[in-house]
Chains A and B, each alone.
Chain A
Amino acid sequence: MAKQYETVIGLEVHVELSTKTKIFCGCAATFGEEPNTHTCPVCTGMPGALPVLNKKVVEYAMKLGIAANCQINRYSRFDRKNYFYPDNPQNYQISQLYLPICHDGWLDIETASGNKKIRIHEMHMEEDAGKLIHDEWEDCSLVDYNRSGVPLIEIVSEPDMRTAEEVIAYLEKLKMICQYLGVSDCKLQEGSMRADVNLSVREVGSETMGTRTEMKNLNSFKAITHAIEGERARQIELLEEGRQVIQETRRWDDNKESSYSMRSKEDAKDYRYFPDPDLMPVVISEGWIEDIKKQQPEFAPEKAKRFQQEYGLPQYDASILTQSRRMADIFEETAGLCGQPKKVSNWMMGETMRILKEKGMDPEELSFTPSHLADLILALERKEINQQGAKQVFEQIMENDVEPISYMKEKGLMMVSDDGAISRAVEEVMAENPETVEDYRGGKEKVLGFLVGQVMKKMKGKADPGKVNALLREKL
């Protein structure tokens, strides 16, 4: 019988924090600016420049640590990780090795095979490196240090995951928590969330770990899934051939759907870590931890429960709406304004999700004003617009955040409530279709639908079908 293998996966996830400034200097940490505009002597590693820690970074790390059930180190310190590469102007990265800010936590994940606890080894604060691009023309590299010194939190899991599905569930959970806390927007494509996958295989039942490899450059959930499947197969093939897995870093190429060796993995000792003497230790009091705990938001599970109780939403709706804090907030504000939670939920889960998916957007990017959706729902309720028109208006709310009532007026989407206008249309239709009218009067009630349709057509759909129906019956 062929051997059965088990995949063992641990993750190192970097999230870029959404602070206004960098971790050790007062340069803006914004993404996508002109190269090297957000630089100073500190983040370009000039001799003698002194780093000063951004307090917000410590608070964000504490928030994330507490949310992931971690212990917070009362005493924490920064260390220098030494390596030479042009993206790193100091020739060392300021990170935390010996006393990271958070340790020993866990996250619950949910997959088709049930719930599972994934342990977190530690979380630490560090600085990001600059960006290198290759210049084909000059055959050299160009360096932009705008990203140098942008704050990161690295979250190191224990090797508790066994499948790609568990890895994705863990990342989704981490992303949701970061977004609820507002500490990071966690966009894999833009690099504000990066996952390195440590993977090894072993025979089922074995207690010892196989030799692991680390895979980098995974910038979508799809790439992560493919890379895990590919690396599992590659390692099993080596073992089946009686060869050995070499501990190394491999880079995933999403276009070729395969990985290649980058370098044999440095030992921690090769980085010659040592305490950074320029930075003072971080001392965290009980009082500070309590303050942070008090500020923690209501997370998805509690929010979903409350939505069911407070707004009478089905469990399904509540769990979908709370997958994103932005979505949940918009739902809640809109429901408060129009008093129709289930209708708001239907708009969020139906049209909103459809349009987001169509545009490849994240629910966190929703930016319309809740009162605009509330006004649209109320206009529907007052029958000032029909369902089809409302969808059209909603697309504009999503796209340009238009004010629905004035948009409806401007585009002639308002329903005609003027009985006179409907009456005139009814009379015209009756005059144009004398035979049908006779049929109806002779007892063929089924033709009423046809006549209603004709009136609606004349009114260009902008009349309440109920009202048309009533007026027709009256006149017939």
Chain B
Amino acid sequence: MSRKIDDATMDNVEILAKLALSDEERERAREEMEKILSYVEKINELDTDRTEPLVHILESGNVFREDEVTNGSGKEESLANAPRKKDGQYMVPKTV
């Protein structure tokens, strides 16, 4: 293991991911993330100075649709799996 993720970084990642991990979960996540980092560091060993940055994995581009309405009301289908709803809207914990 080339590098250790410190507690402050773990705290910040938890906040960004909106996760509250138990001590056990936290250690497992730390280990997995450290593995990912060392994998990326392996790639960093390659000399890419003379390689053009890749914009997209696929060579082609310009996949478009025309500006025509093709969807009807999706209200029922969209709300079908909502755990809580009211007046045709999703109900979620209070924001702001």
Do they bind each other?
Answer: yes
B-contacting residues of A (Cβ < 8 Å)?
19-21, 25-28, 34-41, 44, 52-56, 58, 75, 77, 82, 84-86, 99, 132-135, 138-145, 270, 272, 275, 277, 279-283
Residue of B nearest to A52 (CB): B65
Distance in Å: Cβ of B58 to nearest Cβ of chain A: 7
Known: A134-B96, A141-B94, A282-B61. A35 touches B69 (CB 8 A): no
Docked complex Cα distance between A19 and B91 (Å): 29
The 8 Å CB contact of A142, one of B56, B60, B86, is B86
| Complex-state Cα separation, A85 to B95, whole angstroms | 8
Contacts of B86 on A, CB cut-off 8 Å? 135, 138, 142
Q: Are B78 and A39 within 8 A (Cβ)?
A: yes
- Name A54's contact: one of B57, B60, B65, B88 (CB within 8 Å): B65
| A57–B93 alpha-carbon span in the complex (Å) | 34
Q: Name 15 extra pairs, CB < 8 A, besides A21-B70, A145-B78, A281-B55.
A: A19-B67, A21-B68, A26-B69, A36-B89, A36-B90, A37-B73, A38-B71, A38-B74, A56-B66, A77-B55, A141-B91, A141-B92, A141-B94, A142-B86, A281-B56
Whether A26 touches B92, Cβ cut-off 8 Å, given contacts A77-B55, A138-B86, is no
Residues in A neighbouring B56, C-beta threshold 8 A: 77, 275, 277, 280-281
Identify the closest chain B residue to A133 (Cβ). B89
Closest residue of chain A to B84 (Cβ to Cβ) is: A140
In the complex the two chains form, what is the Cα distance from A39 to B80 in whole Å? 12
Nearest Cβ on chain B to A49's Cβ, whole angstroms: 11
Verify A140–B93 contact, CB threshold 8 A.
yes
A128 vs chain B, min Cβ distance (A): 16
Chain B residue, CB-CB nearest to A89:
B90
Given known A277-B57, A283-B62, contact A35–B18 (CB-CB < 8 A): no
Which residues of A sit under 8 angstroms from B88, Cβ to Cβ? 34-37
For the complex formed, measure the closest distance between the CB of B92 and the CB atoms of chain A, giving whole angstroms: 4
* CA A202 to CA B66, docked complex, whole Å: 49
26 sample A-B contacts, Cβ–Cβ < 8 Å, listed by A number: A21-B69, A26-B69, A27-B71, A34-B88, A36-B75, A37-B73, A37-B74, A39-B74, A39-B75, A39-B78, A52-B65, A54-B67, A55-B64, A84-B18, A138-B91, A139-B94, A140-B84, A143-B89, A143-B91, A277-B56, A280-B56, A280-B60, A281-B55, A282-B61, A283-B61, A283-B62
Q: Determine whether B16 belongs to the interface, using a CB cutoff of 8 Å to chain A.
A: yes
CB <8 Å contact, A281 and B91: no
Chain A residue contacts of B77, Cβ below 8 A? 40
Evaluate contact between B90 and A142: CB separation under 8 angstroms.
Answer: yes
Q: Judge whether B87 is part of the interface by a CB distance below 8 angstroms.
A: yes
Q: Contacts A37-B74, A56-B67: A141 and B61 contacting too (C-beta < 8 A)? A: no
Hey, which chain A residues are within 8 Å of B20, CB to CB? none
| Chain B residues whose CB sits within 8 angstroms of the CB of A27 once the complex forms | 69, 71, 74
Q: Which of A20, A37, A280 contacts B61 (CB 8 A)?
A: A280
Q: Could you tell me which B residues sit within 8 Å of A by CB distance?
A: 16-18, 55-58, 60-71, 73-75, 77-79, 84, 86-96
A82 and chain B: residue at smallest CB distance: B16
Contact of B64 among A58, A82, A99, A272 (CB under 8 A): A58
Min CB distance A280 to B, Å, is 4
Which 10 pairs from chain A and chain B are nearest by CB? A26-B70, A55-B64, A56-B67, A142-B89, A283-B61, A143-B90, A281-B61, A39-B78, A280-B63, A37-B73
Cα separation A140 to B64 with both chains bound (whole Å): 38
Q: Is the CB of A99 within 8 A of B55?
A: yes
Q: Which residues of A contact B16 (CB under 8 A)?
A: 82, 270, 272
> Chain A nearest CB: distance from B5 CB in Å?
15
- Assess whether B71 is in contact with A40, with CB atoms less than 8 Å apart: yes
Nearest neighbor of B15 in chain A, beta-carbon distance: A270
Q: How far is the CB of B89 from chain A (nearest CB, A)?
A: 4
Q: Using Cβ atoms and an 8 Å threshold, which residues of chain A touch B75?
A: 34-37, 39
Contacts of B91 in A (CB 8 A): 135, 138, 140-143
Q: How far is the CB of B51 from chain A (nearest CB, A)?
A: 16
Distance of A162 from chain B, by nearest CB (Å): 33
Give the CA-CA distance A282 to B63 in the complex, in Å. 8
Contact A26 B68 (CB under 8 A): yes
In the complex, which residues of chain B have a beta carbon less than 8 angstroms from the beta carbon of A139? 94
A44-B78, A281-B55, A281-B61 as given contacts; A35 in contact with B89, CB under 8 Å:
yes
- Are A280's CB and B68's CB within 8 A? no
Contact, CB under 8 Å: A20 / B89: no
What's the Cα separation between A145 and B95 when bound, in Å? 16
Which residue of chain A lies nearest to B57 when distances are taken between CB atoms in the complex?
A277
- When the two chains form the complex, which single residue of B65, B69, B70, B73 contacts A53, counting CB atoms closer than 8 Å? B65
Report Cα–Cα, A77/B63, bound state, in Å: 12
A415 to B72, CA, bound (A): 54
**Residues of chain A contacted by B78 (CB below 8 angstroms):** 36, 39-41, 44, 145
Closest to A44 in B: B78
